[in-house]
Amino acid sequence: MRTTILKSLNRITAAAAAFCMAASLCGCGTGGKNDDGDGGKLSVITTIYPAYDFARQVFGDTAEVTLLLKPGTESHTYDPSAKDVVKINSCDLFIYNGGESDRWVDSILEGTGEIKTLRMMDTVELCEEHHDEEEHDHSHETEEYDEHIWTSPVNAAAIVDAVEKAACEVSPENAELFKSNADSYEAAIGDLDGRFRELFDGEERCFIFGDRFPLLYFFEEYGLRHESAFPGCGSEVEPSAQTISHLLERLSEEDAVKRVFCIELSNHKLADTLAEDSGLTVSEFHACHNITADDLAAGETYLTLMERNYTMLSEVLS
């Protein structure tokens, strides 16, 4: 993944330089897209789905919120186009996550004028990625901190609060609306958080993922144990035989949840293999990193996707 990012930096920097002058003509700040016939709405640009959902919940109808990452695509290899650079330059607020996947953002911002930004990883306490390389017999080079911060509902509420504060700075005249919208969404997330805590109160069991594992913050939040084929959202495509053997052995042990878990938008191949060999079934745990085009069109939100997880886990743990 790092190699792909490094190869992209030169092209991104060149695109930023080439389009910086043109983009600056569009302006930034409260003007944004107001001259483009959109009814005077603010322009908010977001990189990934959680940022997109939190922004649209807070801004409501006052802003045109854009998601740069196409639904159903891999977020860790996203490469901005020249058109994306122009959009960022002309926005009122740019919200990105930070971390290894957003290395390209630094190059973009270095080559542009003053843009109001919100880096989500600055809004919560970060967790270091956990590796068990000796047991799983594979090496893995990643960033120091896990970047999937939103998977904890507590963190999600904190990010919504940060988006509200940024929105108020961009458009003070709408501060009351932004606060009301944010309070409502945070309250709904808080209710879900309470139900998760009730669900996990009791006997401790281990969740086995035949997939990557972008759910560290969720599992840390609720004190859950897990084992997975790959740590974080690594770029490995094939686990070692030792890893497969270990996970199969763990699935047979008494403390293991009798289900194989995978994440959204994965090919499920390893999870399906583990399930078949262990006589279990596969359940999808949605990490909310990205969303399918159908789910986006259906109006799914961070909250409804996490509600989907709650329903699944309630059935699995019953």
Task: Report the distance separating Cα 299 and Cα 57, nearest Å.
Answer: 12
DSSP-assigned states of every residue in 136-157:
HT------SB---GGGSHHHHH
Q: What average pLDDT does the segment 26-53 reach?
A: 72
pTM for the structure as a whole? 0.86
Lowest mean pLDDT among 6-10, 73-77, 141-145, 265-269: 6-10
Each residue of 91-136: pLDDT tens digit? Answer: 999 999 998 889 899 888 887 778 999 999 999 999 998 555 444 4
Q: Look up the CATH superfamily of 2-128+143-192.
A: Nitrogenase molybdenum iron protein domain (3.40.50.1980)
State the CATH class of domain 199-317. alpha beta
Fold match, 2-128+143-192 / 199-317: yes
Length of the chain (residues) = 318
Phi, psi (deg, nearest 5) at residue 185: -70, -40
Question: Could you state, in order of their start, the residue ranges of all structural domains in the chain?
Answer: 2-128+143-192, 199-317
288 and 307 Cβ atoms separated by less than 8 Å: no
Q: CA neighbours within 13 Å on the CB side: how many for 114?
A: 3
**What is the signed CA dihedral for 285, 291, 295, 299, rounded to 10 degrees?**
110
Instruction: Give pLDDT, residue 144.
Output: 78
- In angstroms, the Cα distances linking 233 to 27, 74, 191 are 37, 11, 28
